Amino acid sequence: MHSLPASLARALRLPLVGLAAGLLAACAPMKAPPAGSGALPASREAAPVATACPKDIAAIARCLSGQDSAGAYYLIAMPNQWNKVLVMHSHGGPTLGAPKAERAVQDLQRWSIMVRAGYAWAGSTFRQGGVAVRAAAEDTERLRQIFVAQVAQPRRTILHGQSWGAGVAAMGAEMFGNGASGKPYDAVLLTSGLLAGGSRSYDFRTDLRVVYQHLCKNHPLPSEPQYPLNIGLPADAKMSAVELSARANECLGLNKPAAERTPEQQRKVKTIVDVLRIPASSIQSHLNWGTFHFRDVVHMRTGGASPFGNTGARYTGSADDVALNAAVLRYQADPQALARFAQDTDPTGRIAVPVLTVKGVDDPTAFVELDAYFKGTMERAGSGARLVQTFTQHNTHSYLSDPTYPTLMSALLRWVDEGVKPTPEGIAQQCPAYEAPFGKGCAFLPAYVPKPLNSRVVDRERP
């Protein structure tokens, strides 16, 4: 656990206030935000209550928790030495099923670096599970209003989205940040983001379902009712994640080191890795997504029709591409389902505040090429000048390294406060100063430029 000394914080552009001033600001009830500052009035929200902080920040912060009027649980962490900046966190996933308060605790534990660097942090579980982006953005904004009305008034508010939550944050910045009444978010930080929207970010999981079924023929089994693979599962299917894992292990030996797989298992794993360009270690998680989350989308979001398709996709990289393309099942995305899903999940790029992104170039979950697509989205919307993208030499998704995030926050705040737009080179140069208080982990690649998305995920016909 690291607490940043005030002298170093000033040098690193992380201004801290005195302990007494921070506690007074944190404790004093504040006026509700002006009418029109968001579409979700916080006047009917119950006040958050004191709760125990995760142990790694218990000595440097106090925590508050609650459940909002829509049913989402939330958690707030106020550092004892607060720099007057609030980080609103939109988590990844998304989790399926009803929200649980423990999710917010897990998110704060993962992102305790923000609190250790002097930032207040607030995260919502969202009111519902499943792939519902606009609803999650509303839940994040509702929590921001609770914080401002009942906890403290920040000098700046940064909207942070991680993984799937990066899409939530991008959507929230569009929904609540562009009105004439003002911008509740001063800037946006998107980390390891799934940033091509639902209409494109999930294409390769459709590809995984059809290639896997061609190779394994056990999802579904020949003895089970057959269904279109692009619906994930029938609404009433009883399959569990444990059962799906067992089937994948039987076919591919994913639970074994490569040397212990049978030659047939290793041949099939190699086909999936080479065709879909995903590591063997992530096949199971993507197969889960293409099963259980696809079911959520189809049966809970798009009226029973599938927005996913692979018509026209030409797969390459196998030992016999002609045979593979002739054998895999083909599905056409339903036009209305696709339009409905895109309306909820696809960023338009119309974001009126600075946006800074970061991603490991070997991210196994949200491909780095998704960021290239997002850049195009921002440019097509006329917002390209408000986007700076950075990349790191990491092969992880859920978390990169402790010094990475304070470096990005500092650069983002300087952009907001002083109008000094950061550069990837400048951020890479600034990062080592954060290793002293937060540990090693700087790995920025300032010259890296991702390739187009269709260099990683094959094009297909779209209705």
Task: Based on the fold, state whether residues 293 and 213 are members of the same structural domain.
Answer: yes
> Residues 110, 398: contact at Cβ < 8 Å?
yes
Tell me the pLDDT tens digit for each residue of 195-250. Answer: 999 999 999 999 999 999 999 999 999 999 999 999 999 999 999 999 999 999 99
267: pLDDT strictly greater than 50: yes
Q: Determine the pLDDT at residue 392.
A: 98
3-state secondary structure at position 385: helix
Task: Based on the fold, state whether residues 205 and 335 are members of the same structural domain.
Answer: yes
Within-domain flag for 221: yes
Q: Determine the pLDDT at residue 11.
A: 38
Within-domain flag for 463: no
Q: Determine the pLDDT at residue 348.
A: 96
Domain housing 440 = 6-197+348-455
Total domains, the chain: 2
Q: Determine the pLDDT at residue 40.
A: 53
Q: Determine the pLDDT at residue 177.
A: 73
35: pLDDT strictly greater than 70: no
Strands 355-360 and 49-51: unpaired
Q: Where are the alpha helices (DSSP H) in 419-456?
A: 424-430, 435-438
Strands 61-67 and 387-392: unpaired
193: pLDDT strictly greater than 70: yes
Task: Based on the fold, state whether residues 37 and 130 are members of the same structural domain.
Answer: yes
Task: Based on the fold, state whether residues 164 and 41 are members of the same structural domain.
Answer: yes
What integer is the mean pLDDT of 25-52? 57
- Report the CATH number that the domain containing residue 130 is assigned in CATH: 3.40.50.1820
DSSP state of 179: B
* Cα 115–Cα 169–Cα 409 angle in degrees, nearest 5: 40
172: pLDDT strictly greater than 70: yes
Task: Based on the fold, state whether residues 401 and 305 are members of the same structural domain.
Answer: no
Within-domain flag for 462: no
What integer is the mean pLDDT of 23-28? 34
Task: Based on the fold, state whether residues 129 and 205 are members of the same structural domain.
Answer: no
Whole-angstrom distance, CA of residue 152 vs CA of residue 427: 30
CA torsion sign, 258 to 259 to 261 to 262? positive
Task: Based on the fold, state whether residues 64 and 179 are members of the same structural domain.
Answer: yes
31: pLDDT strictly greater than 70: no
Angle formed by the axes of helices 203-216 and 263-276, nearest 10°: 160
Tell me the pLDDT tens digit for each residue of 319-366. Answer: 999 999 999 999 999 999 999 999 999 999 999 999 999 999 999 999
User: What are the residues whose beta carbons fall under 8 Å from the beta carbon of 211, sequence distance 6 or more?
Assistant: 271, 272, 275, 276, 315, 324, 328
**Peptide bond connecting 307 to the previous residue in cis, omega within 30 degrees of 0:** no
3: pLDDT strictly greater than 70: no
Strands 187-191 and 355-360: parallel
Within-domain flag for 440: yes
Q: Determine the pLDDT at residue 5.
A: 39
CA torsion sign, 255 to 261 to 265 to 270? positive
Task: Based on the fold, state whether residues 208 and 230 are members of the same structural domain.
Answer: yes
Tell me the pLDDT tens digit for each residue of 386-443. Answer: 999 999 999 999 999 999 999 999 999 999 999 999 999 999 999 999 999 999 999 9
37: pLDDT strictly greater than 70: no
Higher pLDDT: 30 or 447? It is 447
Q: Determine the pLDDT at residue 183.
A: 77
Tell me the pLDDT tens digit for each residue of 39-67. Answer: 455 568 999 999 999 999 999 999 999 99
From the list 132, 125, 76, 83, the residue with the least C-alpha distance to 104 is 125
How many other C-beta atoms lie within 10 A of the C-beta of residue 226? 9
36: pLDDT strictly greater than 50: no
> Residues 315, 324: contact at Cβ < 8 Å?
yes
What integer is the mean pLDDT of 124-151? 96
Within-domain flag for 460: no
Within-domain flag for 32: yes
Task: Based on the fold, state whether residues 98 and 236 are members of the same structural domain.
Answer: no
Task: Based on the fold, state whether residues 241 and 261 are members of the same structural domain.
Answer: yes
Whole-angstrom distance, CA of residue 287 vs CA of residue 243: 12
26: pLDDT strictly greater than 80: no
CA torsion sign, 341 to 344 to 345 to 348? positive
Q: Determine the pLDDT at residue 179.
A: 45
Within-domain flag for 296: yes
Within-domain flag for 461: no
Q: Determine the pLDDT at residue 245.
A: 98
Q: Determine the pLDDT at residue 44.
A: 82
Encoding tokens for residue 440?
């090693």
Specify the DSSP element, H or E, that contains 121: strand 120-124
Task: Based on the fold, state whether residues 115 and 166 are members of the same structural domain.
Answer: yes
Whole-angstrom distance, CA of residue 178 vs CA of residue 173: 7
Read off the pLDDT band of 288 (50, 70, 90): very high
Task: Based on the fold, state whether residues 43 and 180 are members of the same structural domain.
Answer: yes
> Residues 60, 71: contact at Cβ < 8 Å?
no
Q: Where are the alpha helices (DSSP H) in 224-382?
A: 241-252, 263-276, 283-288, 294-296, 321-327, 335-345, 369-380
Q: Determine the pLDDT at residue 222.
A: 97
In this structure, what are the phi and psi dihedrals at residue 450, rounded to the nearest 5 degrees? -70, 150
Whole-angstrom distance, CA of residue 301 vs CA of residue 231: 12
Strands 49-51 and 120-124: unpaired
Which of 342, 368, 383 is at the close of a domain? 342
7: pLDDT strictly greater than 70: no
Across the beta sheet with 49-51, what order do the strands follow? 49-51, 61-67, 73-79, 120-124, 85-90, 156-162, 187-191, 355-360, 387-392
Q: Determine the pLDDT at residue 196.
A: 96
> Residues 150, 29: contact at Cβ < 8 Å?
yes
Which of 318, 342, 366 is at the close of a domain? 342
Tell me the pLDDT tens digit for each residue of 81-122. Answer: 999 999 999 999 999 999 999 999 999 999 999 999 999 999
165: pLDDT strictly greater than 60: yes
34: pLDDT strictly greater than 70: no
Which of 342, 377, 403 is at the close of a domain? 342
Q: Determine the pLDDT at residue 43.
A: 62
20: pLDDT strictly greater than 70: no
